Amino acid sequence: MNIPVLILTKDESSQNLLKLFIEENKSFNFLASTDDFEKAFLAVSELKNSVLIIDISENEDFAIDFIKKTVEKNPECKVIALTENYSAETVIKAMREGAAEILRLPLIKEKFLKTLEDIKNAFDGKKVKSDKCKTISVFSNKGGVGKTSIAMNLALELAKNTKENVALVDLNFQLGDVTTFWDLKPTYNLSYMLKNTDTLNKDFLLNTLDKYKDTSLYILADPPYFKQAGFVSESDVENLFKVLKTSFSYIIVDTTSGFGMKTMKALSLSEMVLLLTTMDIPALRNCQRCLELFDSEDFEDDKVKILVNRFMETDDIKIEDVEKLLRKKVFWKIPNNYFTMMSANNLGVPAAEVNKESNVARSFKDLSILISDSIYKQNF
Ligand SMILES: Nc1ncnc2c1ncn2[C@@H]1O[C@H](COP(=O)(O)OP(=O)(O)O)[C@@H](O)[C@H]1O
Ligand SMILES: [Mg+2]
């Protein structure tokens, strides 16, 4: 297959450089470069599979709108956005509106070539597993702050956006939070798997485990009130993660409140810990204590990310106050949306299924884009 590539930028030197890079991959064929949006749009509309490389550094909003319009009309076109203003906000906006990838200018050749290769695999229908599996735990020492809601919706959005295999591990055991939320009856119980990690392998995991609807999200949980199959130790958790890492690109862990040994093991094995808080003094105090404990456990400062849940603009406490108190930046905030979250619980479905345009569903999606993108770029 020879995939035509169109370049849309004003900058002649980057047109030339891109052309040279494209010629290095025989699956792609440089078609034309232009600085005219209309022409590019018409050209893409004439093609079946194609790649459009677009510089969005100038007139970012206009360029991102153009990406949206192009991808909506031509779902077979993969867009690579380039920008000098590489920020979380820009990355999320571009990817949310349909860019397949966004790369920083000046362009790094290896990253560009890797992106082309990923796009080729996507056209071939090949699933690519990220080189490394990333484990992300959602934690708070307080109940009811949204750990389960966030772990589940984030895991699902990661699966939908990356199409890679995502494992959601519910460490609540007998309480079966995850299975209750989405009304699931897992064929294999997590505690059984934890006691038999030596018999687990890739085939078993990917062929036998239940997928959530027709996504690439796999759920590892116990049903509620399940009598646990024997005592689960820290090393069982460690072994399970080791096996999961061979088959999954992401492991998302829903934890219980408290610093139990299994939870601490999961946190210490995670590449990222999303530490949840709400914007009230008791939750923030709690969060402060968690940070102190993580510090004494020698967790890398950067691995722990503050996530504010149930955020409201009108709160008395402001984000700046939180950052001052915790002496740490807030990584992400999820808006309070009682109506959507309550309907999701009552219907036993994810937030996006209640209303994918709701602020809370968009926030889960954007968080997943940020996390998958920063992983890809090895930013954390
Ligand atoms: N952003 C949000 N807006 C409104 N309600 C939320 C939000 N996040 C979670 N909730 C609700 O808060 C309650 C507790 O959430 P849950 O995920 O069970 O917390 P945890 O796992 O920390 O105990 C649930 O009823 C959930 O629907
Ligand atoms: Mg929970």
CATH of the domain at 274: 3.40.50.300
Residues 256 and 345 in one domain: yes
Q: What is the 166 CA–ligand 1 centroid distance (Å)? A: 22
In 3D space, the residue among 266, 250, 240, 245 whose CA is nearest the CA of residue 167 turns out to be 250
What is the tens place of the pLDDT at every residue in 316-368?
999 999 999 999 999 999 999 999 999 999 999 999 999 999 999 999 999 99
Residues 162 and 117 in one domain: no
Domain end call among 92, 123, 154: 123
User: Does residue 282 lie within any of the structural domains?
Assistant: yes
Residue 374 CA to residue 380 CA, distance in Å, equals: 7
pLDDT for res 379 = 44
User: Does residue 184 lie within any of the structural domains?
Assistant: yes
Q: Which amino acid is at 356?
A: K
pLDDT for res 328 = 97
Q: Is the peptide bond before 335 cis (omega within 30 degrees of 0)?
A: no
Position in ligand 1 atom list of the atom nearest CA 360: 1
pLDDT for res 142 = 94
In 3D space, the residue among 257, 247, 250 whose CA is nearest the CA of residue 277 turns out to be 257
Residues 372 and 352 in one domain: yes
Residues 301 and 162 in one domain: yes
pLDDT for res 378 = 46
Residues 203 and 152 in one domain: yes
What is the tens place of the pLDDT at every residue in 21-68?
999 999 999 999 999 999 999 999 999 899 999 999 999 999 999 999
Q: At 222, list the tokens.
A: 């116990």
> Which residue's C-alpha comes closest to atom 13 of ligand 1?
144
Q: Number of folded domains in the chain?
A: 2
Residue 351 CA to residue 358 CA, distance in Å, equals: 8
Residues 64 and 144 in one domain: no
CATH number of the CATH domain containing 65: 3.40.50.2300
Distances (CA, A) of 151 to 2, 337, 368: 40, 17, 11
pLDDT for res 375 = 55
- Chain-centre distance for alpha carbon 334: 14
Residues 98 and 207 in one domain: no
What is the tens place of the pLDDT at every residue in 110-139?
999 999 998 998 888 876 666 689 999 999
User: Does residue 164 lie within any of the structural domains?
Assistant: yes
pLDDT for res 266 = 97
What is the tens place of the pLDDT at every residue in 81-106?
999 999 888 999 999 999 999 999 99
Residues 108 and 202 in one domain: no
**Average per-residue pLDDT for the chain:** 92
- Paired with 220 in beta bridges are 169
Residues 10 and 85 in one domain: yes
- Paired with 167 in beta bridges are 218, 251
Q: Which domain holds residue 341?
A: 134-376
Domain end call among 60, 91, 123: 123
User: Does residue 128 lie within any of the structural domains?
Assistant: no
Q: At 118, list the tokens.
A: 């990923």
Confidence band of 79 (pLDDT split at 50, 70, 90):
very high
Listed in sequence order, the residues at least 6 apart from 268 whose beta carbon sits closer than 8 Å to its beta carbon are 297, 299
User: Does residue 129 lie within any of the structural domains?
Assistant: no
Q: Which amino acid is at 143?
A: G
Distances (CA, A) of 67 to 19, 42, 209, 274: 21, 13, 37, 31
Residues 268 and 341 in one domain: yes
pLDDT for res 218 = 96
Domain end call among 91, 123, 155: 123
User: Does residue 339 lie within any of the structural domains?
Assistant: yes
Q: What is the 48 CA–ligand 2 centroid distance (Å)? A: 46
Residues 225 and 344 in one domain: yes
Q: What is the 158 CA–ligand 1 centroid distance (Å)? A: 19
Give the mutation target among 341, 353, 359 for probing the ligand 1 site: most ligand atoms within 8 A of CB. 341
Residues 189 and 334 in one domain: yes
User: Does residue 52 lie within any of the structural domains?
Assistant: yes
Kindly state the percentage of the chain with pLDDT values over 90. 79
What is the tens place of the pLDDT at every residue in 292-320?
999 999 999 899 999 999 999 999 999 99
User: Does residue 84 lie within any of the structural domains?
Assistant: yes
